[in-house]
Amino acid sequence: MAWRTARLLLLAGAAALASGSQGDREPVYRDCLLQCEERNCSGGALKHFRSHQPIYMSLAGWTCRDDCKYECMWVTVGLYLQEGHKVPQFHGKWPFSRFLCFQEPASAVASFLNGLASLVMLCRYRASVPASSPMYPTCVAFAWKLDYFCASTVILHSVYLCCVRTVGLQRPAVASAFRALLLLMLTAHVSYLSLVHFDYGYNLAANVAMGLVNAAWWLAWCLRNRRRLPHVRKCMVVVLLLQALSLLELLDFPPLFWVLDAHAIWHISTIPVHVLFFSFLEDDSLYLLKESEAKFKLA
């Protein structure tokens, strides 16, 4: 075991100079991965692996190399724990216990519950708000994107929703131009991450920056209208809660029981926040409908 401990200490000293995560830079992990691929991922061994792989794993895109990475990750984690070292990350992520084809089962379940809550609230919104309400199309589009696409899309659409509510109802041309700008930003963001380099740090920084713009804009509008429109207090609570809960995304700790990490906890905690925000959208849309009907009668 002494040579393995020496390897770990050498790794710790060179961590700042090397690329990748600490776990996948570990020589034990690399040796294990190389031997596993040579043993299982070519020729007859690969055919045997594919014939015995569960159908749900193959449909999810799990390859022989992915399986080797998973097994060697736990070999390395066991070594770290045995030697009394902190659990390392692998390829930018903490180690998780796989359930069926889900590498992060708690996050997957939480994401599903978020989507389910959004669907329920969308049905409620469509049942209670007439399509003639000025904000109806924008709110419905936001509901479909909520937790269905990537976080960047949700944040940018929330910014657009705020733009329509605060400016676009009076100046549609401004809202249209702003929408084009946001689409351009989203295209550039996704293209960089998918075609150039998937940088977790950049992705997080970009989402945090847009999240701050989104929160500041909504909060400023809410504060300005809190006395005239009592229902905006719901929006204020949503903004403040999301900013507080977003700190969970910045926490960095190994998953509890190898399942529950900060990201999963954040997903779970935002479910009631989504429900409250939909309640605000419903109240606000009905208010705008009454206001437009009153102006039509006066005209």
Q: What share of the chain has pLDDT > 70, as a percent?
A: 87
Q: What is the pLDDT of residue 46?
A: 82
pLDDT per residue as tens digits for the range 68-117:
888 888 888 888 888 888 888 887 788 888 887 777 788 788 878 877 88
User: Please, which pLDDT band fits residue 209 given cuts at 50, 70 and 90?
Assistant: confident
* Residue 88 Cα to chain centre, angstroms: 22
Which residue is listed with tokens 């040796």? 31
The closest of 139, 83, 88 to 283, measured between CA atoms, is 139
Domain positions in the chain are: 23-95, 105-298
Torsion from C-alpha of 55, 57, 58, 59, nearest 10 degrees: 80
Query: The pTM is what?
Result: 0.69
Q: Report d(CA 130, CA 29) in Å as an integer.
A: 59
Q: Report d(CA 211, CA 191) in Å as an integer.
A: 20
Q: What is the pLDDT of residue 3?
A: 37
Question: Does the pLDDT value for residue 218 go beyond 90?
Answer: yes
Question: Does the pLDDT value for residue 195 go beyond 90?
Answer: no
What's the whole-number mean pLDDT along residues 143-151?
Answer: 57
Cα radius of gyration (the chain): 24
User: Please, which pLDDT band fits residue 38 given cuts at 50, 70 and 90?
Assistant: confident
Which DSSP helix (H) or strand (E) runs through 294?
helix 271-298
What's the whole-number mean pLDDT along residues 203-223?
Answer: 88
**Which spans in 15-135 are helix H?**
22-25, 27-40, 43-52, 55-59, 64-82, 105-128
What's the whole-number mean pLDDT along residues 57-77?
Answer: 84
pLDDT per residue as tens digits for the range 226-253:
889 999 999 999 988 888 887 776 777 7
